[in-house]
Amino acid sequence: MTPRFALIGVVTSDMAASLAFYRRLGLVFPEGSEEQPHVEVELPGGLILALDTEKTIRSFHAEWRPPSGGGRIGLAFRCGSPAEVDATYEDLVGAGHHGELKPWDAFWGQRYATVHDPDGNGVDLFAPLPAAE
């Protein structure tokens, strides 16, 4: 068997805050997930997003420490329209999340924005721009 990419893991310092953030982006986690050390949600296409607390990671890797810098990975959510990029960005920033890049029309033909999840991971929001006439 050839290995198959199946899971994206995010280590979180605050499970409840991370769940609230990703739920605002439409992901559905099981009821009571806030009290769990490991939570998974299946994404369209079968890929899994897993959230683990720092304590969970240390349970099998005692020397693990959170990285001191961010920006090494990024997640992206496709929105239904450029207006939805703007609305989603405003919703997340209004809920207290850091807005890294305000929505803008990217030269590659998308409305694009970046916010940070509660652990500082970059989460991009994008939608195709209407074709120029």
Tokens in use for 30?
A: 């099981």
Q: For residue 92, give Cα distances in angstroms to 6, 58, 116.
A: 27, 30, 9
Q: Which element (helix H / strand E) includes 92?
A: helix 82-94
Q: Vertex 87, ends 83 and 93: CA angle to 5°?
A: 145
Angle formed by the axes of helices 15-24 and 82-94, nearest 10°: 150
**Residue 20, C-beta contacts closer than 8 angstroms, at least 6 positions apart:** 95
Q: What is the pLDDT of residue 54?
A: 93
pLDDT digits over 49-91, tens only? 999 999 999 999 999 988 877 667 889 999 999 999 999 999 9
The whole model's pTM is what? 0.87
Tokens in use for 98?
A: 């850091």
Q: First vs last Cα of the chain: how many Å apart?
A: 49
CB count within 10 Å of CB 48 equals 12
Q: What is the pLDDT of residue 68?
A: 79
